[in-house]
Structure 1
Amino acid sequence: MDMSETSRPVADEVDLMLANARLRDELEPYRDESIDASTHRMNLRTENEYLASMLAWERAPALPIASWFTPVMELPSPESLDDAALSELLIGTIIRLHSQRVVLRCTDHLTDRELYKIIYRDILPCCEKKVEIPGKCLEWRCIDDNETWLRFYADAVERRRFQEEYDVDLPPSETPKYRRDLP
């Protein structure tokens, strides 16, 4: 038997343990009990990925989302655009946001102008941590109240649970008017 065949899994395990120790040392200033509680059932490779993502989060700067772009994303005010120009600009803006892993959810109840206003007034100026973790995104739900969620997006089970938990009458369920195929 070739010694390199049996020593490679051991070397991989040692590398994982060394990486784990380094990540835990670097996370020490940010440490709380949630790290140990979250990792006790993970294998070492998964734990290291988790710790690396936590470290990236802790070190990431909080910046206005508009500043995540080069050059900074600046949009004309919604009032300065006619409907056709606004709709065209909205599509490009959504694609640009997606390029920085900002994903919009729950938009189908909004007109193009209403969605553009949310991006212009709420999303672009909002300070968020820009974290470069593969497969992760910033999800922005474009609803601001339970009634909208219940009316347009909650499924039957979610509606029933909400009604049971809060003992309230539910708004009628509706299909949103402005179906979008967003990235």
Structure 2
Amino acid sequence: MGSQSENTEVDQLLLNARLRDELEPFLDESVDVLACKQLPTSDENEFLASMLAWERAPALPIAQWFNPPLQLASPERLSDDELRERLTAVIEKLSTRRIYLELTDHLSDRQLYCLIARDILPSHEKMIDLPHNYLNWRCLDADLDAETWLAYYATDEERDMWSAENSQPMPAMLPPPYPRDLPRKLDLPR
């Protein structure tokens, strides 16, 4: 049993050397940070592989992450029922590429569909295809729309912090008008 454990450690050290060699053209201080930390070699290798995948990944519009590229019908041509059906399908499709939507419960189906078509699908993002990588898309910028964030999403603690930092009246907490049960990143065991 000791021999298998030794082989695994040797394999991890060889992988570590290979990953560091492949990362050399991209080196910056983030690799130096690893030298200061006491990580198990397998964890360090996972981090290095993630960095290498980031450096090599193309930045593509999210629509082009799919084959064929993901396209949405014009919302003006869809009835409410058709739009809801297509919205559900596109949200599921996005989740197959580990793209998850957050903070959507203040948006109607039509507003969310339009946001996906207008902002998400054309957005250039690094397409990293590693099992633990995912993209959370926040459908609300709390800095740009603090009132909506405070009304629907902020915790009591966040509301208290905001109140202490700002001299504006606090909006009432409201139940979200369009609650959704969306696909979410699962915390997978390592």
- Normalising to structure 1: TM-score of the pair? 0.91
Cα deviation for residue 13 of structure 1 reads 1.5
2: CA distance, partners of 1:84 / 1:104: 21
1: CA distance, partners of 2:161 / 2:14: 46
> Do residues 78 (structure 1) and 75 (structure 2) align?
yes
Cα deviation for residue 167 of structure 1 reads 4.8
1: CA distance, partners of 2:56 / 2:83: 36
| Equivalent position amino acid for 1:44 in 2 | T
> Do residues 6 (structure 1) and 37 (structure 2) align?
no
1: CA distance, partners of 2:132 / 2:6: 29
- Which of 9, 15, 19 aligns to 1:23? It is 19
> Do residues 49 (structure 1) and 31 (structure 2) align?
no
SS in 2 for 1:72: coil
Name whichever of 150-159 and 168-177 sits farther off: 168-177
What does residue 186 of structure 2 align with? none
Structure 1 gaps of 5+ residues are: none
| Alignment RMSD | 1.5
2: CA distance, partners of 1:119 / 1:160: 32
Percentage identity across aligned positions? 52
1: CA distance, partners of 2:108 / 2:94: 18
| Equivalent position amino acid for 2:3 in 1 | S
> Do residues 96 (structure 1) and 93 (structure 2) align?
yes
2: CA distance, partners of 1:132 / 1:157: 36
> Do residues 182 (structure 1) and 182 (structure 2) align?
yes
Residues 45-80 of structure 1: per-residue CA shift (max 9 Å, x gap): 111011101111111101111111111111111122
SS in 2 for 1:84: helix
SS in 1 for 2:68: coil
| Equivalent position amino acid for 1:25 in 2 | D
- Normalising to structure 2: TM-score of the pair? 0.88
> Do residues 150 (structure 1) and 147 (structure 2) align?
no
SS in 1 for 2:125: strand
Q: 1:146 to 1:31 in 2, by over 3 A?
A: farther
| Equivalent position amino acid for 1:21 in 2 | A
| Equivalent position amino acid for 1:103 in 2 | Y
What does residue 188 of structure 2 align with? none
What does residue 130 of structure 2 align with? 133
- Which of 77, 89, 111 aligns to 1:114? It is 111
| Equivalent position amino acid for 2:32 in 1 | D
2: CA distance, partners of 1:83 / 1:154: 30
| Equivalent position amino acid for 1:137 in 2 | Y
